[in-house]
Chains A and B, each alone.
Chain A
Amino acid sequence: MTLTAKVTKHSGLRLFLMTVFGRAYPRMVGMLRERSWMLWEIILPILGVSAYVFIYRAIGAPEIYIGFVVMGGAMTAFWLNVLWSMSSQLYWEKEMGNLSLYIMAPNSMMGILLGMAVGGLFFAGQRALVITIVGSWIFGVSYEVVSYWQLFAVFMLTMVALYGLGMMTSSLFLLLSREAWHLANLAQEPIYLASGFYFPVKNLTFWVAAGASIIPLTMGMDAMRQLVFPDGSSLGFLSVDIEIAILVGLSVLFVVGAKLMLDYMERLAIREGRLTESKR
């Protein structure tokens, strides 16, 4: 019964990447094993987005607004993913008894969170893509891309900043239990409103739009809309260049902030003995 296999262990960056992959794996496998997500993640959301399209139709809005709704509907996927599959996920992990094992392992929690994010992006990305394609096709949305390069940059920066934000809020959830739920709920409809998921954020007046810009999707969507829709720039909030600069700032802020917050919250949770308690 002697164990023959010699154990080699990686550390540093290698360990970080292994952690990311390790945590992303259950997400991806889960998606293949439980097909019912297609109903919840794709079919129902498409219907939900369509409802907003028809409101615009009912009040005779110009066609460009239909495109806005389709894009906003697609982007909800990422927001929901950050809220429910990252931030508040730590709460489930605590309940299941996994959280303490993750903390105790030599990996970094950033790796675990990034793994959740990558796994979650699998869902969210598909949901966003399908909504975009199907929505554009059904409602005949026309695109006119100004700059592919900028579009790519905006999208990537938005994702980095958004998931950075998600990691940062996750650390809060280390300390919370049921309240985590309420906070995630609070950040749903009000953010749809403030970030302009279904209309140009410019219409919320400058200061509201500026305030909402703390959510990376606000700037991200505004810039992307300016870049892909004919005449989109007339409805834009700030110029695309400024928005890209803001997104760069947000990315740095959130990723660094996430690391700091996570370390701090982990220490706090360990001191207070709240890593393993379960408040069922």
Chain B
Amino acid sequence: MDAQITIPQSRQDNTFQRLVRTFRVSAWLGWQIEANWADPLVFAIYALIKPLASAAIIVVMYGIITQGDFGQPIFAYIFIGNAFYIYVGQVMSGVSWAVIDDREHYRMLKYVYIAPIHIPTYLLGRGVAKFVFASISVFVTLLAGVLFLQIPLDLLQVDWLLFIVSLAIGVNMLALMGLMLGSIVLLLVNHSFGMGEAVAGALYLFSGAIFPLEVLPEWIRWVGFIMPVTYWLELIRRALLPDIAAGFPTLASLSNGQLLGIMLGLTVFFAVAAFLTFNYCDREARERGYIDRTTNY
């Protein structure tokens, strides 16, 4: 009996097919876990209530100080930045939380690991559902802004090409940042709340999302200039509200093309950094035997 296990043709896929397969199944899985569309309450909580409440905090802060003068350009600046920043928290946490969720909660990270799939791709795929959720939140937030808060969004004036290209690059960049975070989380214990959101909350400060970078003290401003999110939000503003964007001088000296170039460059940089980080953390995690631990206390 010299039986040899023959792998069926269908399983001998090439690398590209494997990546596609990995991505598809993990996106599906993330969808099953996150997007419980059957349950309107869950949908309302994540897609509507949380993001609208966050936006409302800023709206109230602004309203108190300016006695409700929402027509100022700075308000539109803040509102748009805040709305699109939803993507940062959601996509980043979608990718990084998958590590904790699979490891500690479903206890299946180890099985994911031994399956013939590409782990970084798997993690990236887990962010897809969050991306869809976030898109709905962003849309609803913008809608509320236009309807109730005088956000001067005019669909005929929008530079759709710029918007879509920027959004596409930006989301990929965020997913890669999430991968980097997720890799680090491989080495960390579970602190049970959304780590992605915590990081996003901290980076809020540097990205020019809710105030122009000039407001920051000079010695710390440089952080904002190396953050790809800064350029991304500027591009989104230029695409959606060209008049408002022109009123803020931070990046005024750069053309759209230059901004896209910078963002693309930073995205490539993050891609390389994310994969290096992943490889390092992955090796370390296996070295230390962290793949199947649970760390709650």
Would A and B touch once assembled, by the CB under 8 A criterion? yes
Name the contact of A48 in the complex, choosing from B60, B198, B211 (C-beta under 8 A): B198
Docked Cα-Cα span, A58 to B296, in Å, equals 40
Q: A51-B205, A54-B205 are in contact. Are A34 and B295 (CB under 8 A)?
A: yes
B-contact 0/1 string along A187-230, CB 8 Å cutoff: 01110110001111001100000000000000000000000000
CB pair B58–A55 under 8 Å, yes or no, is yes
Docked Cα-Cα span, A57 to B210, in Å, equals 11
Q: Of residues 119 to 151 in B, which have CB atoms within 8 Å of A's CB atoms?
A: none
Is B164 an interface position by the 8 A CB rule? no
Q: Of residues 197 to 236 in B, which have CB atoms within 8 Å of A's CB atoms?
A: 198-199, 201-205, 209-212, 215-216
Chain B residue contacts of A182, Cβ below 8 A? 41-42, 45-46
Docked Cα-Cα span, A26 to B203, in Å, equals 31
Interface of A: prevailing SS? helix
Q: Of residues 8 to 66 in B, which have CB atoms within 8 Å of A's CB atoms?
A: 41-42, 45-46, 49-51, 53-54, 56-58, 60-66
Docked Cα-Cα span, A194 to B176, in Å, equals 34
Docked Cα-Cα span, A203 to B198, in Å, equals 27
CB pair B106–A47 under 8 Å, yes or no, is no
Chain B residue contacts of A89, Cβ below 8 A? 192
CB pair A60–B49 under 8 Å, yes or no, is no
Interface of B: prevailing SS? helix
Docked Cα-Cα span, A193 to B56, in Å, equals 7
Name the contact of B66 in the complex, choosing from A59, A186, A192 (C-beta under 8 A): A59
Docked Cα-Cα span, A56 to B63, in Å, equals 11
Q: Of residues 46 to 75 in A, which have CB atoms within 8 Å of B's CB atoms?
A: 47-48, 50-52, 54-62, 65
Q: A36-B189, A203-B60 are in contact. Are A58 and B294 (CB under 8 A)?
A: no
CB pair B297–A26 under 8 Å, yes or no, is yes
Name the contact of A190 in the complex, choosing from B41, B53, B64 (C-beta under 8 A): B53
CB pair B65–A59 under 8 Å, yes or no, is yes
CB pair B205–A189 under 8 Å, yes or no, is no
CB pair B50–A56 under 8 Å, yes or no, is no
CB pair A61–B201 under 8 Å, yes or no, is no
Residues of B within 8 A of A (CB-CB), count = 47
Chain A residue contacts of B57, Cβ below 8 A? 189, 192-193, 197-199
Chain A residue contacts of B283, Cβ below 8 A? none
Docked Cα-Cα span, A47 to B199, in Å, equals 9
Chain B residue contacts of A44, Cβ below 8 A? 198-199, 201-202
Least CB separation from B106: chain A residue: A280
CB pair B297–A30 under 8 Å, yes or no, is yes
Chain A residue contacts of B294, Cβ below 8 A? 96
Q: Of residues 52 to 85 in B, which have CB atoms within 8 Å of A's CB atoms?
A: 53-54, 56-58, 60-66, 74, 78
CB pair B74–A58 under 8 Å, yes or no, is yes
CB pair A204–B189 under 8 Å, yes or no, is no
Chain A residue contacts of B61, Cβ below 8 A? 52, 55-56, 59, 61, 65, 198-199
Q: Which stretch of A80-88, A163-171, A236-244 is in the interface?
A: A80-88
Which of A30, A58, A96, A185 has the most C-beta atoms of chain B within 10 angstroms of its own C-beta?
A: A58
Least CB separation from A93: chain B residue: B296
CB pair A80–B202 under 8 Å, yes or no, is no
Chain A residue contacts of B49, Cβ below 8 A? 186, 189-190
A-contact 0/1 string along B98-132, CB 8 Å cutoff: 00000001110000000000000000000000000
Chain B residue contacts of A199, Cβ below 8 A? 57, 60-61, 64
Docked Cα-Cα span, A37 to B57, in Å, equals 27
CB pair A193–B74 under 8 Å, yes or no, is no
CB distance from B98 to the nearest CB of A (A): 15
Q: Of residues 10 to 37 in A, which have CB atoms within 8 Å of B's CB atoms?
A: 26-27, 29-30, 34, 36-37
CB pair B202–A47 under 8 Å, yes or no, is yes
CB distance from A179 to the nearest CB of B (A): 8
Least CB separation from A47: chain B residue: B202
CB pair B192–A84 under 8 Å, yes or no, is yes
Least CB separation from A62: chain B residue: B65
CB pair B60–A55 under 8 Å, yes or no, is no
CB distance from B181 to the nearest CB of A (A): 11
Chain B residue contacts of A200, Cβ below 8 A? 64
CB distance from B297 to the nearest CB of A (A): 4
CB distance from A120 to the nearest CB of B (A): 11
Is A41 an interface position by the 8 A CB rule? yes
Instruction: List 25 A–B pairs whose Cβ atoms lie within 8 Å, in order of A's numbering.
Output: A30-B297, A45-B201, A48-B201, A50-B205, A51-B205, A51-B209, A52-B61, A54-B205, A55-B78, A59-B65, A61-B65, A62-B65, A65-B65, A84-B193, A96-B296, A182-B45, A186-B50, A192-B57, A193-B57, A193-B60, A197-B57, A199-B57, A203-B60, A203-B63, A204-B60
Given A55-B62, A193-B60, 7 further pairs, Cβ under 8 A: A30-B189, A36-B189, A55-B78, A186-B45, A193-B56, A198-B57, A199-B60
Pairs of residues from A and B, 4 with the lowest C-beta to C-beta distance, nearest first:
A58-B211, A47-B202, A48-B201, A30-B297
